[in-house]
Amino acid sequence: MATTTPRPVALVRRLVADAAAGSVVVTRGRTADNRANLADGFVEAMERSYGGTRLGRQELDGELIEEVEGALWSRDLIERCRVAHVPGGQDGAALRRVVVAVDPPASAHGDACGIVVAGVGGDGRAYVIADASVEGCSPEQWARAVAAAATVHGADKVVAEANNGGAMVESVLRAADEMLPVKLVHASRGKVARAEPVAALYEAGRVAHRGAFPALEDEMCGLLTGGGYVGPGRSPDRADALVWALTELMLGKRGEARVRGF
């Protein structure tokens, strides 16, 4: 018998692979399962500090989390970009601008509806502040989830991908809240091509995650540089919404005021 924290070292990966062939039996346990033998408040304190992070998922939940070779985002990169709070700006406001981005599902019972909230801080850095994605919802239900996220976070704009039924997407969102500041965007390139400049923002330290978003981060780490997706689910809906949000905030075309001589 071998008992260990499931770090993705070669031996552990080999044992887990052998389990599929039936020669090894794998059992897993979470720290919370041992609550009765731990000090009061220990589990809660650990969850507050590490819940959802790579270290917490490994040490507290017993997950084997592997890096995907050739992925746009690595686990280490995301961990380096994690913060507990958004710093306040000179005027006291934490975020100067907030966007809710939506990757609508093609059908009510298909993929998830990616809903990600991000904003620009007073320091000019982008902060991902919420993953409000929903699964298995009707258009009316996911539209209400978008409206709720926009209200809770005081969004200046709702950016919605419109490749699958653009007019319908806008009308459903307007039905949920007729005052939603909706902007429709159309994907002219594949998901990976759109994600590459956003991944570069992370590399440059221009994006941070306020807290942990395990489902979103798993999808990010499944997008491959050469194209393709090997993450959870059929499609990286959460990651796609993240890309739309950060593209709007950090990569959108902006006018620049200039003085010209005559």
Average pLDDT score over the chain: 86
Buried b (16+ CB within 10 A) or exposed e, 85-114: ebeeeeeeebbeebbbbbbbbeeeeebbbb
Q: What pLDDT digit, counting tens, does each position of 38-69 carry?
A: 899 998 988 887 787 767 777 888 876 666 77
- Among 91-105, 144-158, 247-261, which is the least confidently predicted range? 247-261
Determine contact, residues 130/149, Cβ cutoff 8 Å: yes
171 token code pair: 């009308």
What is the mean pLDDT of the segment spanning 24-50?
87
pLDDT of 257 = 42
Determine contact, residues 196/72, Cβ cutoff 8 Å: yes
Beta bridge partners of 207: 126
pLDDT of 59 = 80
Q: Is the pLDDT of residue 1 over 70?
A: yes
User: What is the residue extent of each domain of the chain?
Assistant: 10-59, 75-251
Q: What pLDDT digit, counting tens, does each position of 129-150 carry?
A: 999 999 989 999 999 999 999 9
pLDDT of 2 = 80
Class at the top of the CATH hierarchy for domain 75-251: alpha beta
Q: Is the pLDDT of residue 163 over 90?
A: no
Q: What pLDDT digit, counting tens, does each position of 211-228 carry?
A: 999 999 999 999 998 888
How far apart are alpha carbons 253 and 218 in whole angstroms? Answer: 29
Using a cut of 0.85, tell me whether the model's pTM lies above it: no
pLDDT of 198 = 96
Neighbouring residues of 30: CB distance < 8 A, sequence distance ≥ 6: 60, 61, 62
